[in-house]
Chains A and B, each alone.
Chain A
Amino acid sequence: MIVLAIDTSNQPMSLAVLKDGSVMGEKLINIKRNHSLQAMSEVEALLASLDVTPASLNRIVVAKGPGSYTGVRIGVTLAKTLAWSLNIPIVGVSSLLSLAWPGKYFDGMVVPLMNARRGNVYTGLYEYRDGWWTLEEDRNMAISDWLVHLAEREERVLFTGADVDVFWEEIQSVLGDRAYRVSEEEAYPSAVMMAKHAEGLPDEDAHGFVPNYIRLAEAEANWLKEQEKKNG
């Protein structure tokens, strides 16, 4: 059972290949280079270095969002087209979970953050117990509201992901010494953790597989608002 996992929803790109649950190889690329250019060729190079042919893949795991719309779409397009071409199952995992890995043994809540612009974040509440699960759904909300919500729980919180930098001052001002953050070398996504987590998830159909953007496209949101106005 050979699994290929792909996460292109952040600037750093993470790839992993697991055989029967153990890691054969992984690749992290953390330079500013277009995912559309490099993702497929880096998958090819990784598989070649492991002597794995495309035909021997059994399952594709992909970060399905939230995150950069374009980044998420590149990973999902590659993953679903590979899965369909090879006639193997696809499994989607939250892009936030891919960032939550350093909190595995943290005593408290794990909160991955992605900057969604204009004071908003993509985020969720994660905790590890006998495996991963989400305490609260992935969401897109104002960081200020999210911090108030977290403060109410009176627990220690570990913030993960590279975008924590952007919000760290605000986080500290609300949560004080209950707020922790990962160090720089832990602030990247992990396709290995996605692949491990996906072991417990059901297969999905490649044709129907779509990203979880969390947000509507701006034009669509505006259009819906207008329709509501029209219909009173």
Chain B
Amino acid sequence: MSSETLILGIETSCDETAASVVRNGTEIVSNVVASQIESHKRFGGVVPEIASRHHVEQMTIVVEEALEQAEVTMDEIDAIAVTEGPGLVGALIIGVNAAKAIAFAHQKPLIGVHHIAGHIYANRLIEEMKFPLLSLVVSGGHTELVLMKEHGSFEVIGETRDDAAGEAYDKVARTLGMPYPGGPHIDKLAHEGTPSVKLPRAWLEEGSYDFSFSGLKSAVINTLHNAEQRGEEIDVKDLAASFQESVVEVLTEKTKRAVEEYGVKQLLLAGGVAANKGLRTRLTEMFGEREDLELVIPPLSLCTDNAAMIAAAGTVMYEQGKRSTLTMNANPGLML
């Protein structure tokens, strides 16, 4: 019994109120997510004040459901792991304060977790990690290449200098008149079109693993406007396919270079944009058959924000003896 670690995870960094119980950092016992997406759709994007209000409404209900589904009581839980940052500050605050109250009420250890560490550790719920590994993190707020040489150690070798890939997807989708969230719509359209429109690829300086998507986003918007002014019809499907082609090519080429340079044993895909079919397909084509490298792509439900990933990352921190105090605060700019 005592060799088993049960962690309660809580995540409220954006528009999902989530709680989960994870065993030994590898096994999901329960995973509850209350999505607010229907509420935010009215506004064409996440409204921070509305997100905070929903989190307060859902918080205890979601945690109770996670414990009930796991059929465990708080007595059996070893520690509470919560997203400390980054994210929307008003949203993070709800999860952090709820976690502090639970930790205090039950006199349990509290562990603040980095949201991206969570996304990466979602993979451990599928496949045990083999180091060194490289993780490509792609979400609405992040585009990063993270090198891990051991548990709990994260080295960001490349990151976006402007828009995150997911952000570029949403902005392009809005320009094309698609409803929020736009990423999945572009992904779907892209599969119906051919990448025939010439769009830039931002490789940046020789050898850089950083990303930049704002130029690409502007190029798409300009292409549309210019066509409009000239009275030309532009095939939206082809434009979507061309945009996706540029994003996927830059992401996967830089990933490939990093895989070779660092000689990693595993490549993990992480973050909400990991749900993108174009990206998943290309990565599988490039790395799926390699014998020296294991490609891990989590199922969609573990790519988007959830608390199981926070509990999984928190488990490693718990085992390494890392603890937060009750003065822990939400930290929207937390570094990995």
Chain A residues at the B interface, C-beta cutoff of 8 Å: 34, 36-41, 43-44, 54-55, 69-70, 73-74, 76-78, 80-82, 84-86, 206-207, 210-211, 213, 217-220, 223
Contacts and interface: CB of A to CB of B under 8 A. Distances in A.
10 contacts: A37-B329, A39-B97, A70-B52, A73-B94, A74-B97, A81-B97, A84-B63, A210-B53, A217-B50, A219-B47
Interface string B35-76: 000000011000101101100110111011000000000100
A80 to B, nearest CB: 6
Given A34-B329, A36-B93, A41-B327, A223 B42 contact: yes
Given A73-B93, A77-B94, A78-B101, A210 B49 contact: no
A210 B56 contact: yes
Interface stretch (B102-110, B125-133, B293-301): B102-110
Contacts of A54: 104-105, 107
B263 to A, nearest CB: 43
A70 B96 CA distance: 13
Given A81-B98, A217-B49, 15 more contacts: A69-B49, A73-B52, A73-B53, A78-B101, A80-B59, A80-B60, A81-B60, A81-B63, A81-B101, A81-B102, A82-B105, A211-B53, A211-B56, A213-B53, A219-B49
Given A78-B101, A80-B60, A211-B56, A36 B47 contact: no
A77 B330 contact: no
Contacts of A34: 329
A74 B329 CA distance: 11
A41 B52 contact: no
Contact of A40 (B49, B94, B100): B100
Contacts of A220: 47, 50
B226 interface: no
Contacts of A213: 53
A84 B60 contact: yes
B284 interface: no
Given A69-B52, A73-B94, A44 B326 contact: yes
B53 to A, nearest CB: 7
A81 to B, nearest CB: 4
Contact of A36 (B49, B97, B104): B97
Interface of B: 42-43, 47, 49-50, 52-53, 56-57, 59-61, 63-64, 74, 90, 93-94, 96-98, 100-102, 104-107, 325-330
Contacts of B106: 85
B64 A218 contact: no
A44 B56 contact: no
Contacts of A44: 104, 326
B77 to A, nearest CB: 11
A219 B43 contact: yes
B48 to A, nearest CB: 9
A206 to B, nearest CB: 6
For the complex of A and B, the 9 pairs showing the least CB-CB separation, nearest first, are A85-B105, A81-B101, A41-B326, A37-B329, A40-B100, A217-B49, A84-B60, A219-B47, A81-B98
A193 to B, nearest CB: 23
Nearest to A41: B326
A44 B103 CA distance: 11
Contact of B53 (A82, A86, A217): A217
B97 A41 contact: no
B107 to A, nearest CB: 7
B105 A73 contact: no
Nearest to B40: A219
B56 to A, nearest CB: 5
Nearest to A38: B327
Contacts of A211: 53, 56
A81 B59 contact: yes
A173 B102 CA distance: 50
Contacts of B56: 73, 76-77, 80, 210-211
